[in-house]
Amino acid sequence: MTMDRRQALTHIIGISGAAAGSVLMANPVLAATSTAEGWSLQLKERLAYAKLDPHAVAKAAYEAGNGCMYQVFHGLVASLAASSSVDAAKFAQIPTAMAHYGYAGILGEGSVCGNVNATGMLFNLLSINGEPANPYLTRVLRYYEQEALPLRDEAFLNAIGANTEEKKAAVGKPTVAGSVLCHSSITNWARENGKNAAEKGERCSELSATIAYQIVVILNKAMDGEDLSGINDITDTVGSCQTCHTKAESFGPSVMTNMECDVCHGGH
């Protein structure tokens, strides 16, 4: 029996286990985004979200390791590959290793947080009840920006396997990032807890699990058709800035954004 180049590559690549408790997935380093049926992910294509268990997804993200962006993206995609989604087989072919670059604010640069980066990449792929998931992105980003994180409740810590005194001490007190930037998030946490960036490992792993959890909470509500207005809206400060700074406004310099503004500069 002979095989063509694609078949040979498939045999060489094989499959590897995804996050604990999830389905087997194509090797995330080498796999192409093609199924045995010849599917490949196309630009602007959407895959159907299916409701997930927030605690189970948080655990998958926590156990994935390898940096915040990978944890969130892999945790969600692996969970959707094992879900009831009509596109589960397609989710299983997404090479989640491509998300690894987002650790520590993009290859350690301390810029946009990998949790935020992963959420954007994920939502760009998803449809909710047939509609793009993009409108729900701001709910997750504002949550990251405005809430004291990571989560500290017992149910969450038990679910991800982090309810130990040693890990609680490593994380310390949850803090508000006040920004979508990695360096702001870590600086605020380190200052509050008398720690330094080198000690961020457990805190950042639990933060990624927290964001994975919140993504599922938000998307499950969206699937159920719940009204999400009022859930982590933009702040009054940002709303005030947007009265002048919009995509359409000629007021210069014109800046369109939903993220917090006064973390880096004051009003004018």
Q: Tokens representing 100?
A: 């690894």
Q: What is the pLDDT of residue 91?
A: 96
Q: What is the pLDDT of residue 36?
A: 54
Alpha-carbon gap, residue 43 to 6, rounded angstroms: 22
Q: What is the pLDDT of residue 96?
A: 96
The mean pLDDT value for 89-108 works out to 95
Confidence of residue 39 (pLDDT cuts 50, 70, 90): confident
The structure tokens 């080498």 sit at: 30
Residue 216 has pLDDT above 70, yes or no: yes
Rounded to 10°, the helix 68-81/201-223 angle is: 40
Confidence of residue 37 (pLDDT cuts 50, 70, 90): low
The predicted-structure confidence for 158-196, as pLDDT tens digits, reads as follows: 999 999 999 999 999 999 999 999 999 999 999 999 999
Q: What is the pLDDT of residue 33?
A: 46
Confidence of residue 138 (pLDDT cuts 50, 70, 90): very high
Q: What is the pLDDT of residue 239?
A: 58
Q: What is the pLDDT of residue 76?
A: 98
The mean pLDDT value for 140-152 works out to 96
Residue 259: exposed, middle, or buried by beta-carbon count in 10 A (0-12, 13-18, 19+)? buried
The mean pLDDT value for 22-36 works out to 40
pTM of the entire predicted model: 0.79
Strands (E), the chain: 15-17, 24-26, 47-48, 126-128, 131-132, 148-149, 175-176
Nearest alpha carbon to residue 179 among 97, 85, 112, 122: 112
Residue 228 has pLDDT above 50, yes or no: yes
Choose between 97 and 14: higher pLDDT.
97
Alpha-carbon gap, residue 121 to 114, rounded angstroms: 10
For all residues of the chain together, what is the average pLDDT?
83
Residue 15 has pLDDT above 60, yes or no: no
Residue 260 has pLDDT above 90, yes or no: no
Residue 108 has pLDDT above 60, yes or no: yes
The mean pLDDT value for 232-246 works out to 62
* DSSP, res 197: G
